[in-house]
Amino acid sequence: MFAWQIFDAKVKAQLRDEYKIRQVTKVTAETLEELVTKLDDVDPEAALAELKAYNAAVQTDIAFNPNVKDGRSTKGLAIPKSNWANTLDTPPFEAYAVTCGVTFSFGGVKIDPQTGQVEDQAGQGIRGLYAAGELVGGLFYHNYPGGTGLTSGAVFGKIAGAGAASRSRSWPAAATWPAPSGRRSCRSRSTPGAGARHSRASACSARDGRW
């Protein structure tokens, strides 16, 4: 799913650097009439009517000031713009295709920070399950310091990789591997080309103790 952001020449200098990279999907036109016909998945007539209604609603008697909440709003629109409302009237016009992204999940599974092993609600390690990156919870609340998404991915990725590798080295061979007590659903499953211990592990859902 995506939307189009439309700017005119008046504000182009204020666009962030991301808008200048080669990979952006950008459409340019000398008039709004022409622009709306170039936008994928857009009803040109409805879009033009929307743009004209927006332009007419901008409170141009209030000075535009991008440095403060300037109160330069729209009047009479069902969804008002509260600040920084600028008319789209100076060609060339540019439209950028934009979409949503989840910057941070702010939540996820609980892990042992020493090994990256995922823990169940009782704090017991879940056998063979290690996690890093966005699906790890408990790192950030409310907000995050810049750059910490990739940092936590790298740090806990290393920890989880080392934890899983270390544990796998101490696994017993499949033939002698004892079934942990209390396990109810650990079925042996053979996977062509996979080592016996790995194919067996993939069919186990028990979570009784560290592994």
Binding site for ligand FAD (CB under 6 A): 101-103, 133-134, 147-150, 153
Tokens 């590798």 belong to residue: 165
In the complex, the smallest distance separating the C-beta of residue 45 from ligand FAD, rounded to whole angstroms, is 33
In the complex, the smallest distance separating the C-beta of residue 134 from ligand FAD, rounded to whole angstroms, is 4
Element (H, E) at 192: none
Q: CB-wise, 137 or 149, nearer to ligand FAD?
A: 149
Given a contact cutoff of 8 angstroms between Cβ atoms, the answer to whether 91 and 9 are in contact is: yes
Given a contact cutoff of 8 angstroms between Cβ atoms, the answer to whether 147 and 191 are in contact is: no
Q: CB-wise, 147 or 178, nearer to ligand FAD?
A: 147
How far from the centroid of its chain's Cα atoms is residue 195's Cα? 35
Q: CB-wise, 34 or 134, nearer to ligand FAD?
A: 134
Q: CB-wise, 16 or 184, nearer to ligand FAD?
A: 16
How many C-beta atoms lie closer than 10 Å to residue 127's C-beta? 20
In the complex, the smallest distance separating the C-beta of residue 104 from ligand FAD, rounded to whole angstroms, is 6
Radius of gyration of the chain (CA): 28
In the complex, the smallest distance separating the C-beta of residue 15 from ligand FAD, rounded to whole angstroms, is 16
Output the six-digit token pair for 129: 């399950």
